[in-house]
């Protein structure tokens, strides 16, 4: 299933993201030698419609085209097949960022492939791991970590003042690699935005030129802890006007990274439908009643909380979730 190569395939530097599948044919791990042997690992396109990481890599590789990389670089192009169709994943595929070591679905062939990638990078003594994603909704750029350790916070803090710590969902790439080295997931705004690509380019370049793991946590960082993942129960129709069972407010994306206060309405429901939102905590317990109340036909916030990744993309809401809920936490000493 996995393609492993030691050089860039012809056409890689000029390809459009949709053409990658033609060049690579399957998920591909590319190793490029540099001055320092412990490789920087860059993972991208685990979600096929999130292309910022790929275009940032093209820019970096062009920059170093005629000179030696300061550090070896290993690149994993996760799901070029879904990228060819500009989709997060194909209908028959699983989510490629839920099947890394630590996943509940380790019996899958795709999970075996991610285990292989992890084992290969462990053997190569991976230096730092960066997984690059995009959001579908309006969000600031931020870094995510899965371990509250100084080096991991410092690495995320090199990217953004906003750092999100989470331990659920399971099977994400950055959590698997956190066992091997400082690891971060970058959320670079929406796909196709030039500032997101440039931000990722600058960050990758700084990481390529690091002498050792950063260990200084900048004091301007705001650290948030993801406490719940919100979904819409399968049986209910939903939308952004007034004709579904759950009607989300159309300006919902404006709430990302803003604190919601008790009483704030997120959606209205069809009268007498008893429709509700689900929220799952880090242990996958349903805790919707802790966060939402039902008043008349409105779904309202029950306690102060900050959402992220709220989106109006209905496919993503069904395939992934409506949003995550976060609480601010203090930096460890």
The window from 127-135, 151-159, 206-214, 223-231 that contacts Zn ion (CB under 5 A) reads 127-135
> What is d(CA 38, CA 286) in angstroms, rounded to the nearest whole number?
42
Which residues are CB-contacts of 303 (< 8 A; sequence separation ≥ 6)?
A: 262, 290, 291
Cα 67–chain centre separation: 31
3-state helix, strand, coil in the chain (%, to 5): 25, 25, 50
CB nearer Zn ion, residue 196 or residue 214: 196
Q: Looking at 44-52, 55-63, 302-310, 317-325, which segment touches Zn ion (CB under 5 A)?
A: 44-52
Shortest gap between Cβ of 263 and Zn ion (angstroms)?
32
Which residue stretch of 17-25, 42-50, 60-68, 282-290 sits at the interface with Zn ion (rule: CB under 5 A)?
42-50
- Reduce the DSSP state of residue 305 to 3 states and report it: strand
* Least gap, CB of 191 to Zn ion (angstroms): 10
Minimum CB separation from Zn ion for residue 47, in Å?
A: 4
Task: Give the separation between CA 274 and CA 272, rounded to whole angstroms.
Answer: 6
Phi, psi of 67 (to 5 degrees): -140, 160
141 binds Zn ion (CB under 5 A): no
Q: For Zn ion, how many residues bind (rule: CB under 5 A)?
A: 3
What's the CA dihedral at 303, 304, 305, 311 to 10 degrees? Answer: 80
Residue 294 CB, nearest approach to Zn ion (Å): 31
Write the burial class of residue 35 (CB in 10 Å: 0-12 exposed, 13-18 middle, 19+ buried).
Answer: exposed
Neighbours of 209 (CB within 10 A): 13
Minimum distance, C-beta of residue 189 to Zn ion, in the bound complex (Å): 12
Toward Zn ion, which CB reaches closer, 72 or 139?
A: 139
- Closer of 114 and 244 to Zn ion (Cβ): 114
In this complex, which beta carbon is closest to Zn ion, that of residue 145 or of residue 217? Answer: 145
Q: Tell me whether residue 56 or residue 267 sits nearer to Zn ion (CB atom).
A: 56
Residue of 15, 17, 20, 47 that binds Zn ion (CB under 5 A): 47
Query: Cβ of residue 69: shortest distance to Zn ion, in angstroms?
Result: 26
Other beta carbons within 10 Å of 137: 22
> Quick one: which of 133, 141, 229, 255 contacts Zn ion (CB under 5 A)?
133
Query: Which residues contact Zn ion by CB under 5 A?
Result: 47, 50, 133
């Amino acid at each position: 299933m996995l393609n492993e190569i030691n050089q860039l395939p012809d056409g890689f530097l000029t390809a459009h993201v949709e053409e990658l599948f033609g060049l690579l044919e399957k998920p591909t791990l590319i190793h490029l030698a540099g001055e320092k042997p412990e490789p920087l690992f860059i993972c991208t396109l685990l979600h096929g419609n999130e292309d910022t990481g790929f275009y940032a890599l093209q820019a970096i590789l062009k920059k170093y085209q005629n000179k030696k990389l300061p550090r070896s670089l290993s690149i994993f192009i996760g799901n070029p097949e879904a990228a060819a169709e500009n989709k997060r994943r194909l209908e028959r595929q699983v989510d490629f960022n839920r099947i890394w070591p630590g996943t509940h679905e380790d019996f899958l062939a795709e999970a075996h492939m991610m285990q292989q990638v992890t084992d290969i990078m462990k053997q190569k003594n991976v230096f730092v791991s960066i997984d690059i994603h995009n959001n579908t909704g309006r969000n600031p750029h931020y870094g995510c970590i899965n371990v509250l350790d100084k080096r991991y916070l410092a690495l995320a803090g090199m990217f953004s003042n906003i750092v999100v710590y989470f331990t659920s969902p399971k099977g994400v790439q950055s959590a698997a690699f956190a066992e091997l080295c400082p690891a971060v997931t970058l959320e670079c705004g929406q796909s196709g935005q030039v500032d997101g690509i440039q931000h990722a380019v600058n960050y990758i370049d700084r990481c390529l030129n690091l002498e050792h793991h950063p260990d200084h946590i900048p004091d301007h960082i705001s650290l948030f802890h993801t406490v719940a993942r919100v979904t819409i129960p399968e049986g209910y129709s939903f939308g952004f006007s007034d004709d579904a069972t759950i009607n989300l407010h159309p300006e919902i994306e404006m709430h990302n990274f803003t604190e919601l206060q008790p009483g704030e309405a997120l959606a209205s429901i069809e009268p007498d439908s008893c429709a509700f939102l689900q929220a799952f905590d880090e242990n996958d317990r349903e805790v919707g009643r802790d966060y939402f109340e039902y008043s008349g036909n409105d779904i309202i916030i029950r306690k102060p909380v900050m959402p992220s990744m709220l989106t109006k993309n209905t496919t993503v809401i069904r395939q992934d979730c409506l949003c995550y809920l976060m609480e601010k936490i203090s930096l460890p000493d």
